[in-house]
């Protein structure tokens, strides 16, 4: 009987399954795409969609739920930022699953899970090209900090002798 059970087991107990789902969701949020099995992708897809909807809400209770589920503050901040910019026009269906074929070792169906909307392009940082003759300001500061102190001259007699 399946009393008190909801979702896919994936051959794991409750704690292992919770940690697996948390790690998969965090990886999807931080990297934007994820290569995994079809069963795992289908298991986390509703969780990801619900988390994005909570992030769009932005209330204190929603942020608390995000922290509880993701357990990593950088992932929570990144998800909230994506919800404001990347998923602002969409109300549901934030992820898609693209099938790749079967894995060689055990014939498990492999997929790529990714977000539907493309990432918003960030303002590109202009990098200055520095040559060896003109080091950057940061490198110059490091050189100043690590410059060895020359010992004081011992006596004037030795210098006059030479």
* CATH code matching the domain that covers 14-115, chosen among 3.40.630.30, 3.40.50.9100, 3.40.140.10, 3.90.1030.10: 3.90.1030.10
Asked whether the beta carbons of 28 and 119 are under 8 A apart, the reply is no
R_g over Cα of the chain? 27
Q: What is the pLDDT of residues 45-89, one digit of tens each?
A: 999 999 999 999 888 999 999 999 999 999 999 999 999 899 888
The answer to pTM > 0.75 is no
Domain boundaries, the chain: 14-115
pLDDT tens profile 99-115: 999 999 999 999 999 99
Segment 111-145, tens digit of pLDDT: 999 999 888 766 544 444 555 555 555 555 554 55
State residue 153 phi and psi, 5-degree precision.
-70, 140
**What is residue 20's three-state secondary structure?**
helix
- Which of 123, 115, 136, 130 minimizes the C-alpha distance to 55? 115
Q: Are 17 and 87 in contact (CB under 8 A)?
A: no
């Amino acid at each position: 009987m399946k009393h008190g059970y909801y979702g896919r087991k994936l051959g794991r107990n409750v704690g292992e399954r919770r940690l697996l789902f948390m790690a998969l969701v965090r990886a999807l949020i931080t990297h934007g795409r994820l290569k995994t099995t079809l069963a795992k992708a289908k298991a986390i897809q509703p969780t990801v969609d619900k988390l994005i909807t909570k992030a769009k809400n932005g209330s204190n209770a929603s942020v608390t739920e995000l922290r509880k589920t993701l357990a990593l503050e950088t992932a929570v901040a990144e998800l909230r930022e994506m919800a404001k910019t990347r998923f602002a026009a969409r109300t549901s269906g934030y992820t898609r699953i693209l099938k790749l074929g079967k894995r060689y070792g055990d014939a498990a169906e492999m997929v790529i899970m990714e977000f539907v909307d493309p990432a918003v392009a960030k303002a590109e940082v202009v990098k200055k090209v520095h040559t060896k003759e003109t080091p950057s300001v940061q490198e110059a500061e490091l050189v100043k900090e690590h410059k060895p102190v020359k010992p004081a001259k011992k006596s004037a007699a030795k210098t006059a002798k030479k």
